[in-house]
Structure 1
C-alpha cells in the first residue's frame, strides 16, 4: 500500500472537495493558509480534529476509532480491515471522514493524522495496545482455560478502559505460584504488566471478548425515536394555554419588581431569599422563577440599576410589552429564549469551587446554548406534523448518538432543560413542535405571532359575578375589561379561569383612580353574565358614600371638606401634628408634605380621603412603578462556534492555497534574496521585476504579509513603481515586503 501524505492528498483534491472542507472546518481558513502543506498541518492538529469531531455521529466516530485501532495514524490500512473491525462496511461514513480531511487515501491505503490519537486518548474505543505475542495464539482456547473469576475480570476490562489498578501486579509470578486471578492471567500472557500497580488488557484479547468488533453492531445504527401522534391543532391549543400562564406570571413578576425591586447580589445575580419570595408571590417553584427572571432579563424587560445599591428593575421596554397583545408578548419571550446565551437550568447547582450558581449571574452564561436549543427543536421539526416524542430520555439518546462529543458534561442536561423550558413557554407541547414555533425556526416572526394568536383562546367580554363577591373570568379578558376588573378586584387565583375578589380596599382603590360608584355599578351590570348580587351593590355604594368626602390638593398639599365637623376631627387627630396641618379656611387645611404622603397618613389614621386634581375631579396618585432606561439588546447569538464563511471568502482562500501550491512546485532560476523591511536595498529586485515586466514572464516571489506570515507566489508583473508590484491578477505587493524573487523557468 502506497502511503500518501495529507498535504499531497489535499494538493490533488478537486476544488469542490476543498471548498466543502473549508466550509465544514471553518478554523482551517483563518487566516488563509499559504498552501496545501500549511492547510494539512492545521487539519492535523489535535484542537482542529477535536472541533471537527463534535459534529460527527456515533457511526462515523466508530470508523475513525477503528482506523486508530488498526494503526492508520502510523501506516496506511485497508478498508476491508476497518470493515472487519466494525462488523459492517460504512462507505458513507468513510467518505464523510475524507471530506473533512480526518482520513485520506484510497480504499487500500487509508490514513489518519497522528493528532487524532491525542483527541481519542491512548485507548481509542476503550481498547489497549496490541501485544505482539498474542498474534499467533489461539485466544478462544486460552479463554476456555480461564476460570470464571478470571473471565469476569477480563470482561470488565474488555468493556473499557483496558487499564486496571491492582497490588497483584507488584511481582512477576509463574502459573504454578499464582494465587489470584490477576496473577494467573499475567502468567498466561492474557494481561500485560505496565508497572507495580497497573495491568492492561491487550487489544487482541479485548477484540476477541467483544466478538471481534470495536463496537457492538447495534451501536452503529441511529436509535429510533418513539412518537405519539396528535392533531396539530391539539398541540397548538395546549401550547397556547401554557404560554398564557407563563405570560401571566411574567407580567406579575414585572409588576412585583416595579413596586419592590429585588437587590442584586454583590457577586451578581438573584439571591436565594429573593427567589423564594418571588416564588411565594407568583405561586411558582424555584425553577420556574429562575426561567421567568432569566427571560425577562434576556428580553431586555429588566436590568440591574446603576445605583450604589443596584436592584433588578423593569426597563422602559416593559410598558410597551405589557400593552402588546398576548401573541406579541409571547413572540418576544420565545425569540429571547431561543437566542438566550445562558443556561437557566444551571441555577442552583454547584460550580468547581462548591459555590451555588445564582440566577441572572454571569456564571450561567454559555454562548453555545442557543445552538443546543435549536438542535433540539430542529430534531422535533423532523417529525410528522403533530407527532410528539414519547419521552425526553429517548430524545436525549438520539441526540447523544448524533453528536456524542458535543456539549461536554452538560450534553444530555441541555436537551432536558431545553424541552422543559420550551414546554413552559409554549414552544413545545405534548412533546411536539407547535405551528408557531415552526414559523419561528423558519425566521418568520410574523407567521409565528399569527399562529400563536390563532391558537390562543379568544378574549372574552363577560365575567361571572358570584354571591360571595368573587368575579370569575372564564378565559382571557379583553384588555379594556381586564384593566377595569383588575382596578376594582384583587386576583385570588389564576389559571385558565381567573378568580377575582371584590373587597372594600379594592373598591376604594378603584375610586381613587377616578372611577365613580355609578361607573363601577354599570361595569358589573353590563359585563356580568350572571345577576349582580345585592351585596356587591351595597359594598360599592357604602364605600363610595364615605370616599372622597375629604379631598386633598397641592399646597404642597391641601385638604378641603364641606363638613366642618370632619375638618375639626382631622385637626384633633395625631395625623394633623405629624403632617403639620393648619386651617386656612373653615373647610380647607394645608400641609407642607407631599400630597401622596399626606393621604397615606390619613388612611392609616382611619380616614378615607381622595386626591383632587386642578379641575376638581378625583385623580390616581398611585406610583406606576420604577423604570430604568432599556439597555441595547444583545446581538443575535450565533448558532455555532465560528461564523459561517461566505462563498466569496471561500473562493479567495482556495485561490490563495492554489497559488501557494503552484509557487511551491514551480521551477525557478537564480533567486535574488534580500531582507524584508524598511531600508533594504531593492535595486536587484527592481531590475529582475522590470525585466519580467518587459518580457511578460512569470516571477516567483517570496513575501511577508501584514500579519507577518511568509508565503510564496507566482505572478506576472504588469507594472513596477512607487514601491508597489502590480500583477496581472490585480494583486498589489509592496516591494519592501518581498523577501526573494526569481524568474520562472520554462
Structure 2
C-alpha cells in the first residue's frame, strides 16, 4: 500500500474559480471589521501590510492560517473541515449545503455563529455562498474530512479492544499510516478482494475507512488510540466537565486553607535558604542532592517544593547570585532570598498570596517536570532553563477559563477537564492529556486558586481582570482572621489552632520551634529555644508575661521552672568586643571557662578575676563557650544584651532567568492608523502614496517635536513595500532616526524611501 499525501494549498488563496476574491472582499469591509480582523490575527500587523492585496496574501499564507486556527475550538475547526470536504477552497459553497453536511450534530444557529467567527478572521469570506482559504487544511490537526465524514458513535474502549486483536501485518499497516499520511492507496481496497487480506480485515473491524476502490484512510479516533491519546473531540457541542458540586463558601474555605499552607511553606523556604544558601549548578538550577536536602530540612515533599521554588524565583523572592554575607568558600553563585523577600514577608497575607498566585499563572515553565527525565535521559533540574515553556501559561489560562465558565462550586477532575480543554483547543491535544492536566489541577489547588476542583472566588476576580486591591480584598474575606492566642500543653508543646497575628507569630517563633505544620501547627519549647529568646534580649519576666497573656490554657508549672532555671544561668558570662572580652561577676566560673578544653583555641587570658580577653571574634567566643556547656550572652558597650544572630543571606540583585514575553498586542490607535493607510493607498490613483522628500521631512520633524508615533510607508533596498509604526526621534542628513516597537530598538530610515506618513492616532 502506498501513502497518499494531502493536496497542497493553492497559491491562488485570494482568488478561486468562482466567487469574490479575498482581496476584493476585504476592500469592501467597513473599517471596524478590518480593525476587528487585525485584532483577531495580530500577526497580520507585523509589519503592517502596505496594501489590501498584501493583507489578503498574508492572511492566506500557511504560517498565518496556522496561527489563526491555533485558538479555534472543535466546532469552528469542524466547519473548516466540512467546507474543505465541499471543496469551498476552489468553489463558493452555499451555507445551506454546509448545514446539510453537518446535519443535526449541532443546531443550525451554532453553525451560523461559527461561520460568522471564521468570517471575522478572514478564514472564510463571502456572505452566501462562502469560500474558505486553501491553506485551511494546514490548520487542521487531522486530515480533511476526518471530523465531519467519519462516524462519531465509536466507543473508545471498544476501539482499544479491537486494536489489541490485530495481528502483525495489520499492525504494521496501521503503524505506516500513523507515522506518515493517514491516506493510503491499495488494490486490496477494491471489491472482490479476499476478506482475509489485512486491508479487508481492518475495514471490517472499523479500523480503516474506505474512501474509494483504491483508497483507504486511518480514522482519526483510531490514530489517537494508537498514540495512546484520549479519544476526541467527537461531539460538536462543547462538553460539560462538571463532576462534583459544592457550596461556593466551602470551595473558598478549602482554597484559603491551601493559600495559608502555601504562604507558610514559602516563608519556611526563604528562612532555610537565608540560613544556608544553595550553590547553583554550572548548567543552572539546583542539583538533585541539594533539593533532597531542602526537602528534608523543610519537610516539604519533592513535587510541592519544586513548585514553590519555581514560583518564588519567578516572583523575584529568590535568585542566583553572590549573597551577602558571602559564604566564604570561594564558590558560587548561590540560590538565596533577594532583598525583595523582606518586603514580601512583612506584607499582609492576602497580598502575598496574590503575588504568588498571579506569578504561577504567568510562570513560563512546568514545575511538574522536576525530577522526571527528558528526551536526553537526564532529569529536569529545579530552577533550570530546561523547564522553560511558552505554552505553559496558555495551558493554565485555558484550564481556568474552562472552570470560570462553570457555575460557582462546580468541580472537575483531570479526565473531564482534559476533554473540555481539548474541545476548546483541538490543536493542543498532545499537551492537554489527562496526566498533564491533572498536574495543572494539583498546582492550581496548591496555590489556592481552586478548592474541591472548583474555582475560588478570588481566582474568579483575577481572571476577570479586577484591580489588584479588589482581588486582595476578596482573598482577605475568605482567609480566616488571624488569632491572638495559642494553647500551651503540659509536655511543653504549643498548639496553634489557626493563623497567628504576624507579630505574635514572630514572638512565638523566637521562643519555640515548629514541630509539625498543618491546619493546626505545633511548636516545641525547650531549654535551647528559651536560651535563644534570652539571647535576643528577652528577660524571664517578659517570657512569663508573654505565655500568660496569649495562652488560652494554664501555663504548665514545668515551663515556669524551665524559664527561671535557664534565665538564672543565662548571661553570667558576658562577651563583648576587645577584640572580644568576657566578664563575669563569679570569678570561679570565669576561671573555669578560661581553662575549658572547648575554649582553648580562643586563647583567652584573665585581665582581672572577673574579666578575660580574646583575639577571636565575638561570635566564635560565644560558640565556643556554649559548646563548653556555658550560657553566655552578648553585650554592647553599655552592658545591654544584644542579639547577634545572623540576619540571613540576601542576594542584592535578581539573577538572569528566562521570562515569557507574549507578542505585543497592537493598540486600537495603531490598528486604526494601519487601516487608514490601507484606505488611502487604495484610493491613490497610482496605487501608492509616495511623498515628496521635503514634505516627508516636515511631517516627521513635526511628529518628533510632538513625540507622536506615525505609520510610515517604506520601501526597503530590496524593493519590498511595508508599513511600520515608529516614534520619530530626529531627522538629519536625509535619515530618519526613530524607535521601532516591532524590533524594540532605535533604527534609521532613508527619507527618500518613505512613501507615506500618517499619524498613528488617525481615526
TM-score if structure 2 supplies the norm length? 0.77
Distance 2:647 2:582 in 1: 24
Which residue of 1 is the match for residue 442 of structure 2? 420
| Matching residue within 267, 276, 284 for 1:268 | 284
Change (3 A) 1:578 1:103: same
Distance 1:75 1:167 in 2: 26
Distance 1:240 1:174 in 2: 66
Distance 1:383 1:129 in 2: 31
Q: Residue 127 of structure 1 contacts residue 202 of structure 1 at CA under 8 Å; is this kept in 2?
A: no
The reply to whether residue 100 of structure 1 matches residue 121 of structure 2 is yes
Distance 1:512 1:184 in 2: 84
Change (3 A) 1:153 1:104: farther
SS in 1 for 2:495: strand
Which residue of 2 is the match for residue 114 of structure 1? 134
Could you tell which deviates more after superposition, 504-513 or 427-436? Answer: 427-436
Distance 2:237 2:183 in 1: 37
The reply to whether residue 52 of structure 1 matches residue 68 of structure 2 is yes
Distance 1:544 1:457 in 2: 36
| Matching residue within 637, 644, 649 for 1:614 | 637
Could you tell which deviates more after superposition, 118-127 or 39-48? Answer: 118-127
Which residue of 1 is the match for residue 197 of structure 2? 180
Which residue of 2 is the match for residue 403 of structure 1? 425
Q: Residue 412 of structure 2 contacts residue 454 of structure 2 at CA under 8 Å; is this kept in 1?
A: no
Residues 291-331 of structure 1 deviation map (CA, whole Å, 9 limit, x = unaligned): 11111111111110147421111111112211222222222
Distance 1:496 1:172 in 2: 66
SS in 2 for 1:350: coil
Which residue of 2 is the match for residue 138 of structure 1? none
Which residue of 1 is the match for residue 456 of structure 2? 434
Map 1:193-212 to 2 at 5 A.
200-201=216-217
Aligned length: 657
SS in 2 for 1:312: strand
Distance 1:74 1:662 in 2: 30
| Matching residue within 607, 621, 627 for 1:604 | 627
Q: Residue 435 of structure 1 contacts residue 448 of structure 1 at CA under 8 Å; is this kept in 2?
A: no
| Matching residue within 685, 705, 708 for 2:715 | 705
Change (3 A) 1:121 1:5: farther
Distance 1:182 1:301 in 2: 61
Residues 652-672 of structure 1 deviation map (CA, whole Å, 9 limit, x = unaligned): 11122223333478799xxxx
The reply to whether residue 545 of structure 1 matches residue 568 of structure 2 is yes
Change (3 A) 1:583 1:38: same
Which residue of 1 is the match for residue 257 of structure 2? 241
Distance 1:125 1:172 in 2: 19
Distance 1:555 1:637 in 2: 54
Q: Residue 242 of structure 1 contacts residue 425 of structure 1 at CA under 8 Å; is this kept in 2?
A: yes
Q: Residue 188 of structure 2 contacts residue 199 of structure 2 at CA under 8 Å; is this kept in 1?
A: no
Q: Residue 388 of structure 2 contacts residue 658 of structure 2 at CA under 8 Å; is this kept in 1?
A: no
Change (3 A) 1:200 1:280: same
Map 1:553-568 to 2 at 5 A.
553-568=576-591
Distance 1:99 1:424 in 2: 39
Which residue of 1 is the match for residue 12 of structure 2? none
Q: Residue 17 of structure 1 contacts residue 99 of structure 1 at CA under 8 Å; is this kept in 2?
A: yes
Which residue of 1 is the match for residue 30 of structure 2? 14
Q: Residue 464 of structure 1 contacts residue 529 of structure 1 at CA under 8 Å; is this kept in 2?
A: yes
Could you tell which deviates more after superposition, 534-543 or 337-346? Answer: 337-346
Which residue of 1 is the match for residue 227 of structure 2? none
Change (3 A) 1:278 1:117: same
Change (3 A) 1:706 1:166: closer
SS in 1 for 2:124: coil
Which residue of 2 is the match for residue 26 of structure 1? 42
Change (3 A) 1:647 1:185: closer
Distance 2:403 2:188 in 1: 58
Distance 2:410 2:201 in 1: 54
| Matching residue within 669, 672, 676 for 1:655 | 676
The reply to whether residue 391 of structure 1 matches residue 419 of structure 2 is no
| Matching residue within 644, 650, 662 for 2:665 | 644
Aligned-pair CA distance for 1:52:
0.5
Distance 1:351 1:468 in 2: 49
Residues 569-611 of structure 1 deviation map (CA, whole Å, 9 limit, x = unaligned): 1222223431111111111111111011111011112222111
Change (3 A) 1:439 1:632: farther
Name structure 2 gaps, 5 residues minimum. 1-16, 151-164, 204-208, 223-230, 324-330, 696-711, 724-732, 736-748, 757-763
Distance 1:415 1:704 in 2: 47
Could you tell which deviates more after superposition, 15-24 or 120-129? Answer: 120-129
Which residue of 2 is the match for residue 697 of structure 1? none
Which residue of 2 is the match for residue 729 of structure 1? none
Residues 663-709 of structure 1 deviation map (CA, whole Å, 9 limit, x = unaligned): 478799xxxx9xx999xxx9xx9xxxxxxxxxxxxxxxx98536865
Could you tell which deviates more after superposition, 500-509 or 394-403? Answer: 394-403
SS in 1 for 2:131: coil
SS in 1 for 2:552: coil
SS in 1 for 2:426: coil
SS in 2 for 1:558: strand
Could you tell which deviates more after superposition, 171-180 or 655-664? Answer: 171-180
User: Max radius of gyration: which structure?
Assistant: 1
Residues 492-520 of structure 1 deviation map (CA, whole Å, 9 limit, x = unaligned): 11122111111111111111111111211
TM-score if structure 1 supplies the norm length? 0.78
Distance 1:127 1:425 in 2: 38
